[in-house]
Amino acid sequence: MRTQVGIVGAGPAGLVLGLLLAREGIESVVLESRSREYIEHRVRAGVLEQGTVDCLAASGVGERLQREGMVHHGLFLRWDGYSHRIALSDLTGGRGITLYGQQEVVKDLVAERVEDGRELLFEVSDVRVEDFDGDEPAIRFTDATGAEQVLRCDVIAGCDGFHGLCRPTVETALRVYEREYPFGWLGILAEAAPSSDELVYCHHERGFALQSMRPPDLTRLYLQVAPDEELERWPDERVWEELHTRFAGDDGFDVAEGAVVEKGITPMRSFVAEPLRHGRLFLAGDAAHIVPPTGAKGLNLAVADVRVLADGLAHWYSTGDGSRLDSYSDRCLRRVWRVQHFSWWMTRMLHRLPGEDPFEPMLQRSQLEYVCSSHAAATSLAENYVGLELEL
Ligand code: RFL
Ligand code: PHB
């Protein structure tokens, strides 16, 4: 097998990269270890920045997203029983976010790729990336039928997420920056209409809680829990009770209950592995960096990376000039670190730290009051949340 760009991983990073390359007339093959069914039903992100939506729409996969996605112009920060609105659009010259499930984005991207007849192999195993120091890199793998395959290509894109194999392959050449948080998120998807039409980020003495949604009629809810928490300890009744307690207040707000259709626990981590380029192997998305989900940024960052990569590859293929590939890592890392800081800052403002002294929650409360009362502070949150237009 031979292609121009071999892409490992059919998450948002790999699929969007394949799409952008196809629009430039560049061939790719995507290799995915899971089944189509699995990746189309993995519940994860829900918040898309305007730049992400525009990129998908401009590439011809925005039709259902623009029909079913819900545009939000604000969000709420809630503490002491009251919600305070941050007017995202008013503060950012009209920009907003779109609520649309990551698995819906993945479905749209897979459908377009399959319809267009571009290669996408599911259930591959034993993937190895080789010879990326030279001009003829190769990806060895076992296909779904059990046959050994070699895919030769000009360039390999490592889009295989945090637990993939591309980053470990270049481990010794990486500089890693990392922070683990002493808590995780328990997330549920429930068949209930959300009680607020905008997201509610809640600071509570028992820990953080978040109400989000999946249009048109599902609620997505999260609770801060211990990092090693076991799901069995959280039957639905306990989850609802805890949600009611954390969201309770004097303004009558409450979460609406419904049948729980998905439940999972996610650890929280900040992580960056630099650089993103190793010869002809380019890391993108969660394979290179992770942010805690409080800023709703991971998917958007993955799309931002591959936009830079597709631009560099298109320039290289059309002119022979590799300078935009040489600067790929540095250009991405500027955005990555801005988003790292914002995600850490949101996380720090909203969560309770086990064993913290009484000083910490007082600082958090002061920060929340400042963000909700100062135009400058609110604008800073808003422009980061909707996504900063950093030069590509
Ligand atoms: P992915 O989505 O993990 O995709 C990687 C793909 O590679 C496959 N793979 C392999 N394939 C072949 N060979 C191998 N050896 C392989 N190893 C792995 C995997 O099966 C998978 O299909 O990474 P990508 O594309 O970089 O996308 C990143 C995003 O998925 C991630 O950042 C977001 O989900 C993070 N995130 C959020 N991001 C947002 O922008 N907005 C949000 O609102 C938001 N909320 C969230 C989130 C992540 C969460 N969890 C569960 C981690 C909420 C949660 C709870
Ligand atoms: C979600 O809808 O899943 C979601 C929303 C906001 C976040 C994280 C996740 O910060």
**Assigned domain for 108 exists:** yes
Q: Enter the tokens of residue 241.
A: 């009770």
Task: Report if pTM > 0.95.
Answer: yes
C-beta of 188 in contact with ligand 2 (< 6 A): no
Which of the 8 DSSP states describes residue 255?
P
- C-alpha torsion angle, residues 67, 68, 72, 77 (rounded to 10): -170
From the candidates 100, 222, 328, 385, which is the catalytic residue? Answer: 385
Cα-atom radius of gyration of the chain, to the nearest Å?
21
In this predicted structure, the answer to whether residue 23 has a pLDDT above a threshold of 70 is: yes
In this predicted structure, the answer to whether residue 289 has a pLDDT above a threshold of 90 is: yes
Q: Quote the percentage of the chain above a pLDDT of 90.
A: 97
Q: Quote the percentage of the chain above a pLDDT of 70.
A: 99
Amino acid identity of residue 235, one-letter, is P
C-beta of 187 in contact with ligand 1 (< 6 A): yes
Tell me: do 216 and 109 sit in the same domain: no
Q: What atom of ligand 2 comes closest to residue 294's alpha carbon?
A: 10
Tell me: do 204 and 335 sit in the same domain: no
Which of the 8 DSSP states describes residue 327?
T
Look at the chain and report how many structural domains it folds into.
2
**Assigned domain for 74 exists:** no
**Assigned domain for 198 exists:** yes
**Assigned domain for 374 exists:** yes
Alpha-carbon distance values, 357 to 82, 154, 225, 227, 317 (Å)? 24, 55, 19, 20, 57
- pLDDT confidence of 216, banded at 50, 70, 90? confident
Q: Write down the pLDDT at residue 215.
A: 82
Tell me: do 119 and 236 sit in the same domain: no
C-beta of 347 in contact with ligand 2 (< 6 A): no
Expressed as residue numbers, the domain containing 251 is 181-268+356-386
Nearest ligand to residue 75 Cα: 2
Q: How many angstroms separate the CA atoms of 307 and 331, rounded?
A: 11
The mean pLDDT value for 70-89 works out to 97
C-beta of 293 in contact with ligand 2 (< 6 A): yes
**Assigned domain for 377 exists:** yes
How many residues would you count in the chain? Answer: 392
**Assigned domain for 245 exists:** yes
Tell me: do 202 and 247 sit in the same domain: yes
pLDDT digits (tens, 9 = 90+) for 41-70: 998 989 999 999 999 999 999 999 999 999
Q: What are phi and psi of 226, to 5 degrees?
A: -65, 150
From the candidates 204, 278, 293, 328, which is the catalytic residue? Answer: 293
Q: Is 325 helix (H, G, I), strand (E, B) or coil?
A: helix
In this predicted structure, the answer to whether residue 392 has a pLDDT above a threshold of 90 is: no
C-beta of 300 in contact with ligand 2 (< 6 A): no
Distance from Cα 62 to the centre of ligand 1, integer Å:
20
Q: Is 26 helix (H, G, I), strand (E, B) or coil?
A: coil
Is 244 a known active-site residue?
no
Tell me: do 189 and 289 sit in the same domain: no
Q: Write down the pLDDT at residue 147.
A: 98
Asked if residue 6 lies in contact with residue 31, where contact means CB atoms within 8 angstroms, the answer is yes
Nearest ligand to residue 69 Cα: 2
**Assigned domain for 59 exists:** no
The mean pLDDT value for 184-206 works out to 96
The mean pLDDT value for 111-128 works out to 98
Asked if residue 291 lies in contact with residue 304, where contact means CB atoms within 8 angstroms, the answer is no
Tell me: do 218 and 367 sit in the same domain: yes
Nearest ligand to residue 49 Cα: 1
Distance from Cα 359 to the centre of ligand 1, integer Å:
35
C-beta of 297 in contact with ligand 1 (< 6 A): yes
Tell me: do 131 and 41 sit in the same domain: yes
CATH number at residue 15: 3.50.50.60
Tell me: do 306 and 341 sit in the same domain: yes
Distance from Cα 34 to the centre of ligand 1, integer Å:
13
- With vertex at residue 12, the alpha carbon angle to CA 10 and CA 14, rounded to the nearest 5 degrees, is 45
- With vertex at residue 359, the alpha carbon angle to CA 353 and CA 361, rounded to the nearest 5 degrees, is 50
The mean pLDDT value for 75-95 works out to 97
Tell me: do 317 and 380 sit in the same domain: no
From the candidates 72, 278, 289, 351, which is the catalytic residue? Answer: 72
CATH number at residue 187: 3.30.9.10
**Assigned domain for 370 exists:** yes
Distance from Cα 44 to the centre of ligand 1, integer Å:
7
Tell me: do 305 and 156 sit in the same domain: yes
Tell me: do 258 and 205 sit in the same domain: yes
Asked if residue 248 lies in contact with residue 282, where contact means CB atoms within 8 angstroms, the answer is no
Q: Write down the pLDDT at residue 391.
A: 63
In this predicted structure, the answer to whether residue 73 has a pLDDT above a threshold of 80 is: yes
Give the burial string for 103-135 (b: 16+ CB within 10 Å, else e): bbbbbbbbebbeeeebbbbbebeebebbebeee
pLDDT digits (tens, 9 = 90+) for 299-339: 999 999 999 999 999 999 999 999 999 999 999 999 999 99
Q: Of 302, 333, 309, whose CA–CA distance to 10 is shortest? A: 302
Tell me: do 309 and 201 sit in the same domain: no
